[in-house]
Amino acid sequence: MDTINDFFLLLSSLLWGWPMIILLLGTHVFLTFRLRIPQRKLLTGIRLSVQKDKGASGDVSQFGALATALAATIGTGNIVGVATAVALGGPGAVLWCWLTGIFGMSTKYAEGLLAVKYRVKGKDGRTYGGPMYALERGLGMKWLALLFAIFTALASFGIGCTVQANSIALLANETFGVPTWVVGLFVCVLTALVIVGGVKAIARVCTVLVPFMAVLYVLGCIVILCMNGSYVWPAVQLIVNSAFNPSAAGGGFVGATVMMAARYGIARGLFSNESGMGSAPIVAAAAQTRNPVRQALVSSTGTFWDTVIICALTGLVLVSSILAYPDISYADGAALTKVAFSKIPYVGAPLLAFGILTFAFSTILGWSYYGESAVNYLDVRGERSADGGEQSEVRGSSLFYRVLYVTALFFGSIISLDIIWNIADCMNALMAIPNLVALLLLSGVAARETKKYLWSGRLDDEMEEPHH
């Protein structure tokens, strides 16, 4: 097991070296200015996300698509991931994580736009889309589209499946003493009960679960920040200073370099909001929207809620708690958040346990849809089945994928955290590369569509219908 872990650790460090950091952040910054800073239309995006686009084509409402995407992104990356980044990269990692979110909004915007622009309607009446369709239909790169679909299917077992199951099992074991295999079985059964109903069942659960869990977690963070009141501003200063000057962190963070802070901050930022990874556009393509830009604006709000708000709050809670309680050991990223929340009398630990449980479970549901969509793209027969409705979903490759996904949940709950995080980091990078290629090569299309609908004041105009 150590040999396997060492291999993925090496591969992860290679994939997440300077080339990936430059490619990822470079794409975020390039698209921000290429699209004329779409972040300034954040309030419009928030407004559109809660409105129904009547008469528009698509399978789910814009809010349903956003909730499903947020279900997949608001997960343990927001809690355990940020804590791991702080433990390994020092407080400065929080700033890099936050900056990845700010600039990543434009990347998430472009992903949503291209997903709707190049989506197709299958013979079963359902809408299909995502980076694989943008690569195939926009660039004629079928081979790269296939690679993206393969990496997505593999990534779903890492980021969306085993990592989340591991976090649930670890916390339940530490908090309540429940054996990890028992937790694993429980998660398997619960997941199977939802995903057997297909994407509609997933969307229904996510639409209810996501707003509730996010609000509850944010309130918990605000309570801790109020308790740590006198340490909040020093925490902000420490985060900013140590992002560029490692010696500013001092103490146990002395081993952290600027490169480590940037690497872990950006890696966890991507893990958290998935901007640039290409997962969220898969569900964005199914949204009921009258033109690509409307859904693009809605998609970009996902990164705002996930990283700019929730991850920033988590990071601030962790760093202010470390300053407020010097006895806290921050070497173990997984336990760091738990210790911080336990400072809230009586309700802190249960609140965190509930938060991780719901965050992780919603991520498991969201990623099961991404992985299944990728498998359906690889198996054209399954995707283009003409018998209609949910019937086509449960045939062949889809059924096989669902069984495999639920099985992986169990093994994820009993394997060590280190190896799971390292594998997840590798899969994230491999998935991001073809997606970033598509975003950069199709940036001209995204810019034209943005100019046509957003900057020309034609946000209510209809687009052409997707075709077979």
Q: Mention every residue, 6+ apart, whose C-beta is less than 8 A from residue 267.
A: 16, 85, 425, 428
Half-sphere exposure of 28 (CA within 13 A, CB side): 27
What is the 3-class SS of the chain, one letter each residue?
A: CHHHHHHHHHHHHHHCCHHHHHHHHHHHHHHHHHCCCHHHHHHHHHHHHCCCCCCCCCCECHHHHHHHHHHHHCCHHHHHHHHHHHHHHCCHHHHHHHHHHHHHHHHHHHHHHHHHHCCEECCCCCEECCHHHHHHHHHCCHHHHHHHHHHHHHHHHHHHHHHHHHHHHHHHHHHHCCCHHHHHHHHHHHHHHHHCCHHHHHHHHHHHHHHHHHHHHHHHHHHHHHHCHHHHHHHHHHHHHHHHCHHHCCHHHHHCCHHHHHHHHHHHHHHHHCCCCCCHHHHHCCECCCCHHHHHHHHHHHHHHHHHHHHHHHHHHHHHHHHHCCCCCCCCHHHHHHHHHCCCCCCHHHHHHHHHHHHHHHHHHHHHHHHHHHHHHHCHHHHCCCCCHHHHHHCHHHHHHHHHHHHHHHHHHHCCHHHHHHHHHHHHHHHHHHHHHHHHHCHHHHHHHHHHHCCCCCCCCCCCCCCC
By C-alpha distance, which of 68, 114, 13 is closest to 449?
114
Q: Is the pTM of this model over 0.95?
A: no
pLDDT at 391: 35
Compute the chain's Rg from CA coordinates.
21
Helix axes 198-227, 348-378, angle to 10 degrees: 150
Model confidence pLDDT, tens digit, residues 237-295? 999 988 887 655 544 554 557 777 887 787 777 767 788 889 999 999 988 899 999 99
If one counts every other C-beta atom within 10 angstroms of the C-beta of residue 33, the result is 10
Q: Which domains are seen in the chain, by residue range?
A: 15-453 (1.20.1730)
By C-alpha distance, which of 431, 425, 418 is closest to 12?
425
pLDDT at 332: 66
Q: In a structure prediction context, what are the per-residue pLDDT tens digits for the chain, which is 468 residues long? A: 678 888 888 998 888 777 887 888 899 999 999 999 999 999 999 999 988 777 677 778 888 889 989 988 887 677 777 888 888 888 888 998 898 899 999 999 999 999 999 998 877 777 889 999 999 999 999 999 999 999 899 889 887 888 889 888 887 888 788 898 999 999 999 999 998 887 778 888 988 998 998 898 899 899 999 999 999 999 999 999 888 876 555 445 545 577 778 877 877 777 677 888 899 999 999 888 999 999 999 999 999 999 889 989 999 999 998 888 887 776 666 577 778 888 888 888 888 888 878 888 999 999 999 999 999 898 865 444 333 333 334 457 888 999 999 999 999 888 776 777 787 778 878 898 999 999 999 999 999 999 999 999 889 888 765 554
262, two tokens? 């940037």
The Cα 369–Cα 432 span in angstroms is 18
Token pair 């969509």 is at which residue? 373
The Cα 351–Cα 344 span in angstroms is 9
pLDDT at 331: 67
Q: Mention every residue, 6+ apart, whose C-beta is less than 8 A from residue 325.
A: 339, 343
What is the 3-class SS of 310-364, one letter each residue?
A: HHHHHHHHHHHHHHHCCCCCCCCHHHHHHHHHCCCCCCHHHHHHHHHHHHHHHHH
The Cα 153–Cα 378 span in angstroms is 10
